[in-house]
Protein backbone atom coordinates (compact mmCIF):
# COMPACT_ATOMS: atom_id res chain seq x y z
CA UNK A 1 0.00 0.00 0.00
CA UNK A 2 1.15 3.53 -0.69
CA UNK A 3 1.64 6.46 1.68
CA UNK A 4 -1.29 8.12 -0.07
CA UNK A 5 -3.52 5.19 0.84
CA UNK A 6 -2.77 5.45 4.55
CA UNK A 7 -2.88 9.24 4.54
CA UNK A 8 -6.41 8.98 3.15
CA UNK A 9 -7.27 6.91 6.20
CA UNK A 10 -5.77 9.60 8.43
CA UNK A 11 -7.84 12.15 6.50
CA UNK A 12 -10.95 10.12 7.26
CA UNK A 13 -10.06 10.45 10.94
CA UNK A 14 -9.55 14.19 10.52
CA UNK A 15 -13.00 14.48 8.96
CA UNK A 16 -14.49 12.76 12.01
CA UNK A 17 -12.92 15.50 14.14
CA UNK A 18 -14.27 18.19 11.79
CA UNK A 19 -17.77 16.75 12.03
CA UNK A 20 -17.84 17.14 15.82
CA UNK A 21 -16.35 20.63 15.89
CA UNK A 22 -12.77 19.62 16.69
CA UNK A 23 -9.69 20.99 14.93
CA UNK A 24 -9.53 18.49 12.04
CA UNK A 25 -6.38 16.44 12.57
CA UNK A 26 -6.35 12.68 12.14
CA UNK A 27 -3.78 9.93 12.54
CA UNK A 28 -3.35 6.21 11.96
CA UNK A 29 -0.59 3.82 13.03
CA UNK A 30 0.35 1.13 10.52
CA UNK A 31 2.21 -2.08 11.42
CA UNK A 32 3.19 -4.20 8.43
CA UNK A 33 0.30 -3.38 6.10
CA UNK A 34 -2.31 -3.28 8.82
CA UNK A 35 -3.80 -0.23 10.54
CA UNK A 36 -3.53 -1.07 14.24
CA UNK A 37 -4.66 2.25 15.70
CA UNK A 38 -6.60 5.35 14.74
CA UNK A 39 -7.06 8.69 16.40
CA UNK A 40 -8.61 12.07 15.82
CA UNK A 41 -8.42 15.24 17.80
CA UNK A 42 -10.75 15.09 20.82
CA UNK A 43 -9.65 18.13 22.82
CA UNK A 44 -13.18 19.53 23.15
CA UNK A 45 -14.94 16.22 23.62
CA UNK A 46 -12.62 15.09 26.40
CA UNK A 47 -12.01 18.59 27.80
CA UNK A 48 -8.33 17.70 27.61
CA UNK A 49 -5.97 19.98 25.73
CA UNK A 50 -3.52 17.09 25.29
CA UNK A 51 -6.01 14.82 23.48
CA UNK A 52 -4.41 15.24 20.06
CA UNK A 53 -4.87 12.70 17.27
CA UNK A 54 -1.30 11.43 17.56
CA UNK A 55 -1.46 10.93 21.34
CA UNK A 56 -4.67 8.96 21.03
CA UNK A 57 -3.34 6.85 18.14
CA UNK A 58 -0.04 6.15 19.92
CA UNK A 59 -1.66 5.08 23.19
CA UNK A 60 -4.06 2.89 21.24
CA UNK A 61 -1.14 1.31 19.37
CA UNK A 62 0.80 0.59 22.59
CA UNK A 63 -2.31 -1.05 23.97
CA UNK A 64 -2.95 -3.08 20.81
CA UNK A 65 0.60 -4.44 20.70
CA UNK A 66 1.23 -4.63 24.46
CA UNK A 67 4.46 -2.76 23.83
CA UNK A 68 5.61 0.72 24.74
CA UNK A 69 7.79 0.99 21.64
CA UNK A 70 6.76 0.94 17.97
CA UNK A 71 10.03 0.47 16.06
CA UNK A 72 8.35 -1.19 13.09
CA UNK A 73 5.35 1.11 13.04
CA UNK A 74 4.53 4.10 10.86
CA UNK A 75 2.40 6.97 12.08
CA UNK A 76 0.50 8.92 9.44
CA UNK A 77 -0.87 12.25 10.56
CA UNK A 78 -2.59 14.88 8.44
CA UNK A 79 -0.78 17.88 9.95
CA UNK A 80 2.76 18.49 11.23
CA UNK A 81 2.96 17.36 14.87
CA UNK A 82 3.15 19.93 17.65
CA UNK A 83 5.93 19.94 20.23
CA UNK A 84 4.04 17.61 22.56
CA UNK A 85 3.27 15.04 19.87
CA UNK A 86 6.82 15.33 18.56
CA UNK A 87 8.07 14.42 22.06
CA UNK A 88 5.59 11.55 22.31
CA UNK A 89 6.75 10.21 18.95
CA UNK A 90 10.34 10.45 20.21
CA UNK A 91 9.54 8.26 23.22
CA UNK A 92 7.60 5.76 21.10
CA UNK A 93 10.71 4.99 19.01
CA UNK A 94 8.35 4.73 16.05
CA UNK A 95 10.00 3.56 12.85
CA UNK A 96 8.57 6.19 10.54
CA UNK A 97 6.51 9.35 10.65
CA UNK A 98 4.59 10.65 7.65
CA UNK A 99 2.79 13.96 7.92
CA UNK A 100 0.72 15.85 5.37
CA UNK A 101 0.51 19.64 5.68
CA UNK A 102 3.03 21.81 7.43
CA UNK A 103 1.82 23.91 10.35
CA UNK A 104 3.83 27.10 10.73
CA UNK A 105 1.80 28.23 13.74
CA UNK A 106 1.85 25.19 15.99
CA UNK A 107 4.18 22.69 14.32
CA UNK A 108 7.29 21.49 16.16
CA UNK A 109 9.65 23.13 13.65
CA UNK A 110 8.78 26.49 15.16
CA UNK A 111 10.32 25.52 18.49
CA UNK A 112 13.15 23.03 18.03
CA UNK A 113 16.79 23.90 17.45
CA UNK A 114 18.06 23.91 13.90
CA UNK A 115 21.07 22.06 12.54
CA UNK A 116 23.87 23.63 10.53
CA UNK A 117 21.76 23.46 7.37
CA UNK A 118 19.09 25.54 9.17
CA UNK A 119 16.72 22.62 9.16
CA UNK A 120 14.91 21.50 12.31
CA UNK A 121 16.96 19.04 14.36
CA UNK A 122 15.98 15.39 14.17
CA UNK A 123 14.38 15.25 17.61
CA UNK A 124 12.82 11.84 17.06
CA UNK A 125 14.56 8.53 17.76
CA UNK A 126 17.75 8.34 15.67
CA UNK A 127 16.32 5.46 13.62
CA UNK A 128 12.99 7.18 12.94
CA UNK A 129 12.46 8.15 9.31
CA UNK A 130 10.50 11.26 8.44
CA UNK A 131 8.45 12.02 5.34
CA UNK A 132 6.11 14.95 4.80
CA UNK A 133 3.98 16.55 2.13
CA UNK A 134 1.80 13.52 1.38
CA UNK A 135 -1.65 14.83 0.34
CA UNK A 136 -0.55 18.10 1.91
CA UNK A 137 -3.10 20.19 0.00
CA UNK A 138 -6.08 18.11 1.11
CA UNK A 139 -4.80 17.92 4.69
CA UNK A 140 -4.17 21.65 4.86
CA UNK A 141 -7.42 22.58 3.11
CA UNK A 142 -9.44 20.78 5.78
CA UNK A 143 -7.78 22.96 8.43
CA UNK A 144 -8.36 26.14 6.40
CA UNK A 145 -12.03 25.28 5.86
CA UNK A 146 -12.48 24.60 9.57
CA UNK A 147 -11.01 27.88 10.76
CA UNK A 148 -12.75 29.86 8.02
CA UNK A 149 -16.08 28.43 9.14
CA UNK A 150 -15.31 29.17 12.80
CA UNK A 151 -14.57 32.80 12.04
CA UNK A 152 -17.99 33.32 10.46
Indicate the residue among 78 and 92 with the shorter CB distance to a second copy.
92
Task: Return d(Cα 23, Cα 19) in angstroms, integer.
Answer: 10
Binding flags for a second copy, 3-42, as an x/- string (CB under 8 A): ----------------------------------------
User: Within 13 Å, how many C-alpha atoms sit on residue 61's CB side?
Assistant: 32
Which listed residue (54, 72, 114, 116) is catalytic? 54
**Coil/strand/helix, residue 114:** strand
Sheet holding 129-132, edge to edge: 34-40, 26-31, 73-79, 96-101, 129-132
Cα separation, 7 vs 49, in Å, equals 24
H or E element at residue 73: strand 73-79
Cβ 39 to a second copy, closest distance in Å? 12
Question: Per CB under 8 A, does 59 bind a second copy?
Answer: yes
CB of 70 to a second copy, least distance (A): 9
| Sites of contact with a second copy (CB under 8 A) | 43-44, 46-50, 55, 58-59, 62-63, 66-69, 82-88, 90-93, 108, 111-114, 121, 123
Binding residues: 52, 82, 85
Amino acid sequence: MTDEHYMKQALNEARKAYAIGEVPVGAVVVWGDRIIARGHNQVELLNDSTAHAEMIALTSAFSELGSKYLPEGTLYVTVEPCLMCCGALHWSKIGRIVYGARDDKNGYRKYVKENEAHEPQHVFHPKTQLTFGILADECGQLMKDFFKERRK
